[in-house]
């Protein structure tokens, strides 16, 4: 159900001591030196690196009905649009997957 809550805590505050959240584009990951060079220019040494390459939402044209009814969910803004669409539904609306088959 939509509107279960908004994010109220900055993600960076959830990290442990000595862990730094860096959101940037990597121009070089030197695994031998254990160093990352982000686009912002400041070289970062690391113990562990999480390389999250991101995603894009696409609606495959070969799936009937996808263009009309599918909702991409790859960006925060996509999630906001989905929530807005869900809020337009009547409170007693049921998912087609929740009906007993």
Tell whether pTM > 0.85: no
For residue 28, what are the β-bridge partners?
37
pLDDT at 1 over 60: no
Q: Do residues 78 and 70 touch, judged by C-beta distance below 8 A?
A: no
Q: pLDDT tens across 14-57, in order? A: 788 888 788 888 899 999 999 999 999 889 998 887 766 666 66
Burial of 36 (0-12, 13-18, 19+ CB in 10 A): buried
| Residue 10 token pair | 């900055």
């Amino acid at each position: 159900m939509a509107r279960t809550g908004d994010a109220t805590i900055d993600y960076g505050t959830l990290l442990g001591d000595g862990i730094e959240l860096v959101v940037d584009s990597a121009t070089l990951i030197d695994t031998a030196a254990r160093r990352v060079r982000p686009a912002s220019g400041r070289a970062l040494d690391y113990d562990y690196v999480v390389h999250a390459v991101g995603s894009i939402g696409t609606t495959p044209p070969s799936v009937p009905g996808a263009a009309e009814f599918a909702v991409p969910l790859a960006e925060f803004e996509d999630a906001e649009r989905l929530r807005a669409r869900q809020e337009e539904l009547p409170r007693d609306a049921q998912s087609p997957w929740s009906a007993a088959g």
